[in-house]
A and B are shown apart, each in its own frame.
Chain A
Amino acid sequence: MKKYPLSRREFIKLNLYGMAGLALEGSTRIAYSGNSGRDTGTRMIVLGLDGMDPRIVHRMMAEGKLPNFQKLAREGHFGPLGTSTPPQSPVAWANFITGMDPGGHGIFDFVHRDPATYLPYLSTSRTESSQKSITIGDYVITLSSGKVENLCRGKAFWQILEDYDIPATIFRMPSNFPPKPTGQRTLSGMGTPDIIGTYGIFTYFTDHPIEIDQDIGGGRIVEVSVDDNTVRASLIGPKNTYRQGAPESRLDFTVYRDPEYPVAKIVVEGKEMLLKEGEWSPWVQVSFPMIPTVSVKGICQFYLKEVHPHFKLYVTPIQIDPSDPALPISTPEGYAKELYKRFGLFHTKGLPADTKALDHGVLDEGEFLKLDDLVLNERLAIYDYELDRFEAGVLFFYISSTDQRSHMFWRLRDRRHPCYDERLSRQYGDTIEKIYQKMDRLLEKTFRKVDKHTILMVLSDHGFSPYYRSFHLNSWLKDNGYIRLKDESEQGEMEFLQNVDWSSTKAYALGFNGLYINLRGREVMGTVSPLERMVLVEEIAKGLERMNDPETQARPILKAYKTRACYHGPYRDHGPDIIVGYNRGYRASWQTALGKIPKQWYENNLKKWSGDHCMAPDILPGIVLLNRKVRRTEASLYDLTATILSAFDIPKPADMKGTSIL
């Protein structure tokens, strides 16, 4: 859709001719008040480059491959940045947002557990459907609205800036969905769900599904039949809460393929697209009908992977439509629409690079990178726009590609990795270095906007490590008598700790670093008294730190962090009792994160997800670069929050942990 803008002069003329009441968009629309704050003479650009590792940056700088990082380091400061405990992005960025540790903001892991049910949930936001409704026949009429809540507690630094009338634009900050209420321009980042409410589920339509494991997380494999070179299938939308039983909403679409040529036409809701094999479609707006007059809008892209001999079509997770968001993704509400009007539709899902699709072989390395390039180019275009109009206050801009590519391509730069592939390494072994160099060019572009009044800060939330071996923490707990199973013969079969006999269980693990004591008064079937808790924490921590992997003779766990000692703030006791700090090369298994208890303790990591950072924070610092000399070189994420405030002479709040390094 495009609109014809109307100039101010034309609008005034129209008014003169008696056209009062007809307000047209473009220059006639009154800009919202967001970002029209006080100009203190100082301004600050903050680039958040997720997962950029100091070792790699150091080496590449020494090799002259990052000239702009080098320049910034020479003129100001470059050093490691203390990450969060644990070094997971939602936790780390929440530290940066609030200037507090998890005890203050309440985000401890990607995955939290509900002590009333022991079931896991995503840590950064919670969606509640309407509590009151009446049912008439097949229809459900809601009497109250549902709500979606940002679980990152505490005041964000841009909210504090707002209190002092300092404008800020915060682009895709993780752990900020739904965006914290503010008049500043913000667009939600990591943690923003797709329209189904998950972190993103792709769909893969194929008539040849045998090559792919059907039971995959993060995606759906749908077997289709090709009749007369025509495929009829459905996209799955959100649950239809207007219908009894809340069935999944569906949207039918048809694909026609040429009987000979590698080309196909996709028809969805009357929109037609012609794609060649190996091509991505532009964004497609789709709407899932709920009841007459009510539908939920989303956007997706199609990728025609193969036309002949087999039909293979990948569809991205259906994301929130920024032109008409089904859930709040920006402040002011119009900011997402403003970006849409300027740039067209764009990715809104938290982490749009589809790592699951690559992991399961639905997309190959080249296809994954093509998708991530689309994401990155989209963001860089918006960055150009924001940088160009940035005049005062703070501009924060977040890039996820550095993190996502490090997760997926570490195996092709590290011969020790169980998934190292010589052939693929020749083609993609330098993927991580290449994205670092792209960030260097981003920095070069940023320099053009930096004058003597502009503070430039570049940071990453954590570093990166190889992920060679998985550790089944719950299996270790079980074999050491801390977990008892209801049925030993079922060990390894059930997720979500369903096989755990809670009446005899003292501790359990859920999430990527969290270990919980089954505490009486907190957990619904707690067995450990508050007095016993400390002893038990000490005992388990020592046990974990003493272990050796019989295969490698290495210690899988460097340190077990006792959270009562390292967290501060009102939410300290809501999270895990121990944060397990894995050694370089080790990580909690995927099964541990979801509460599964396999029979063995260790497993080689044979997934393409081969680099990680859910380890001990001491070995995975992030980076910080500033175009100013600093008073002290040791800094943590929450110190940078205090640094931002101090740059504008704003006193830091009492609950903020960090101190300014300027």
Chain B
Amino acid sequence: MTTLSNSIAFVFDLFMWSFNGLHPIWSMTVISALTGVLMLIIYKYTSNQAEIRKVKDWIKANFLAIILYKDSLKVLFSSTGHIFRANLRYMRLNLVPLLFMIVPVGLLIVQMNFWYGYKPFEPGESILVKATLANVGDLMKAEVSLVVPEGVEIQTPPLRIPNNSEVNWRLGTKQKGHYEIKIHVGGQEMTKTLVVSDRMERLSLLRHASGFWDGLLYPGERVIPSSSLVRSIEVHYQPVFMGVLGWDVHWIIVYFVLSIFFGLALKGVFRVHI
């Protein structure tokens, strides 16, 4: 899973690179448009188009009946019942294409989150770094240290929480750059990337040992070998929001709204019944 996720990350990085320096809304718009098209295609070939068309016609017919025979209670109740049942059927017909869509959209969202969901550190900002260790015995006796490159400084002594096998540091950023910090534990060294920038970049929040979900959710860095004394290294980037109509909106809402907009706008072009 990690290999697949990393491969997708590589392709996604190439795509995002072409929008380098532009406002995020540009790449978001293109991704949403492509998503809209992809979803239409998936929908077209995984759904029962004829049946969907039939159900929609049936719903329309019953609405028409309600309008035409608004004085007839019998028609009103039976048509309402028909609409209700047809809606249930419509939803059932959508389940299959939704199941097909969920995988690619899920993978895409994971990738997008590391671009749109967080902002890189800026010079002068503080960073919390958390390392979770494995098999070190007594954490208080373990030799754990952090080495940072020029441009980054260690601002606090290590904060050790033995019950959680956890060591934390606070770092300070002095200048822009792509850095690697190194954690030394019991003679082993493990690195973690750190981005200090004023531009949108893909950020890796967690470098982790192998695991299905971590591999899926945190692509972008090499997996920590299972023999390592470090289980994970986490860097706390700040979440970022998009400003829409004066509101601070999570990027995923913008993404869904735009994707649906493009899906609806292009359904005629692709001759898809939704």
Q: How far is the CB of A206 from chain B (nearest CB, A)?
A: 20
Q: Who on chain A is nearest to B257 by CB? A: A22
A6 interface hit (Cβ, 8 Å): yes
B158 interface hit (Cβ, 8 Å): yes
Residues of B within 8 A of A261 (CB): 157-159
B23 interface hit (Cβ, 8 Å): yes
Of the candidates B24, B119, B126, B170, the one having the most CB atoms from chain A within 10 angstroms of its own CB is B170
A140 interface hit (Cβ, 8 Å): no
CA distance A1 to B26 in the complex (A): 21
* Cβ contacts B143-167/A at 8 Å (1 or 0 each): 0000000000001111111110000
Q: Who on chain B is nearest to A262 by CB? A: B157
Q: Which of B26, B126, B162 contacts A259 (CB 8 A)?
A: B162
* Cβ contacts A218-259/B at 8 Å (1 or 0 each): 000000000011100000000000000000000000001111
Q: How far is the CB of B3 from chain A (nearest CB, A)?
A: 31
Of the candidates B22, B25, B162, B241, the one having the most CB atoms from chain A within 10 angstroms of its own CB is B25
Residues of A within 8 A of B168 (CB): 265, 272, 274
Contact check, A14 vs B243: say whether CB atoms are below 8 A apart: no
B81 interface hit (Cβ, 8 Å): no
Contact of A3 with B240 at beta-carbon distance under 8 Å, contacts A24-B25, A29-B246 already known: yes
CA distance A17 to B155 in the complex (A): 48
CA distance A23 to B249 in the complex (A): 12
Contact check, A26 vs B243: say whether CB atoms are below 8 A apart: yes
Contact of A228 with B163 at beta-carbon distance under 8 Å, contacts A261-B158, A274-B169 already known: yes
CA distance A242 to B49 in the complex (A): 50
Contact check, A3 vs B243: say whether CB atoms are below 8 A apart: yes
CA distance A25 to B126 in the complex (A): 27
Q: How far is the CB of A193 from chain B (nearest CB, A)?
A: 25
Residues of A within 8 A of B243 (CB): 3-6, 24-26, 29
Contact check, A258 vs B159: say whether CB atoms are below 8 A apart: yes
Residues of A within 8 A of B22 (CB): 10
CA distance A257 to B258 in the complex (A): 46
Residues of B within 8 A of A56 (CB): none
Q: How far is the CB of B98 from chain A (nearest CB, A)?
A: 26
Number of A-B residue pairs, CB cutoff 8 Å, is 94
Interface range on chain B (Cβ under 8 Å from partner)? 35 or more
Q: Who on chain B is nearest to A29 by CB? A: B246
* Cβ contacts B17-59/A at 8 Å (1 or 0 each): 0000011111001000000000000000000000000000000
Q: How far is the CB of A192 from chain B (nearest CB, A)?
A: 24
CA distance A395 to B245 in the complex (A): 29
Q: Which of B126, B160, B200 contacts A258 (CB 8 A)?
A: B160
CA distance A259 to B161 in the complex (A): 8
Contact check, A274 vs B170: say whether CB atoms are below 8 A apart: yes
Residues of B within 8 A of A276 (CB): 155-157
Contact check, B248 vs A3: say whether CB atoms are below 8 A apart: yes
A44 interface hit (Cβ, 8 Å): no
Contact check, A1 vs B239: say whether CB atoms are below 8 A apart: yes
B244 interface hit (Cβ, 8 Å): yes
B242 interface hit (Cβ, 8 Å): yes
Q: Which of B26, B157, B240 contacts A263 (CB 8 A)?
A: B157
Contact of A259 with B140 at beta-carbon distance under 8 Å, contacts A14-B29, A265-B159 already known: yes
* Cβ contacts A9-20/B at 8 Å (1 or 0 each): 010001001010
Q: How far is the CB of A52 from chain B (nearest CB, A)?
A: 33
Q: How far is the CB of A648 from chain B (nearest CB, A)?
A: 32
CA distance A22 to B26 in the complex (A): 12
B238 interface hit (Cβ, 8 Å): yes
Contact check, B128 vs A274: say whether CB atoms are below 8 A apart: yes
Q: Which residues of B, 164-183, contact A by the 8 Å Cβ criterion? A: 168-170
B273 interface hit (Cβ, 8 Å): no
Q: How far is the CB of B40 from chain A (nearest CB, A)?
A: 18
Contact check, B244 vs A25: say whether CB atoms are below 8 A apart: yes
Q: Which residues of A, 617-662, contact B by the 8 Å Cβ criterion? A: none
Q: Who on chain A is nearest to B251 by CB? A: A4
Q: Who on chain B is nearest to A14 by CB? A: B25
Residues of A within 8 A of B156 (CB): 263, 274-276
Q: How far is the CB of B170 from chain A (nearest CB, A)?
A: 4
Residues of B within 8 A of A272 (CB): 128, 130, 168, 236
Contact check, B159 vs A264: say whether CB atoms are below 8 A apart: yes
Residues of A within 8 A of B119 (CB): 2
Contact check, B23 vs A10: say whether CB atoms are below 8 A apart: yes
A7 interface hit (Cβ, 8 Å): yes
CA distance A441 to B245 in the complex (A): 40
Contact check, A4 vs B244: say whether CB atoms are below 8 A apart: no
Contact check, B170 vs A7: say whether CB atoms are below 8 A apart: no
- B-binding residues in A (CB < 8 A): 1-7, 10, 14, 17, 19, 22-26, 29, 228-230, 256-265, 272-276, 282, 334
Would you list 20 pairs from A and B whose C-beta atoms are within 8 A, ordered by A residue?
A2-B119, A3-B240, A4-B200, A4-B240, A5-B23, A25-B246, A256-B161, A258-B157, A258-B158, A258-B160, A263-B156, A263-B157, A263-B159, A265-B168, A272-B236, A274-B128, A274-B156, A274-B168, A274-B169, A275-B156
Give 8 new A-B contacts, CB below 8 A, not counting A2-B240, A23-B244, A274-B170. A4-B200, A4-B242, A5-B243, A6-B23, A24-B244, A260-B140, A264-B159, A272-B168
- A-binding residues in B (CB < 8 A): 22-26, 29, 119, 126, 128, 130, 140, 155-163, 168-170, 200, 236, 238-246, 248, 258
The 4 closest A-B pairs by CB, nearest first: A25-B243, A261-B157, A274-B170, A3-B243
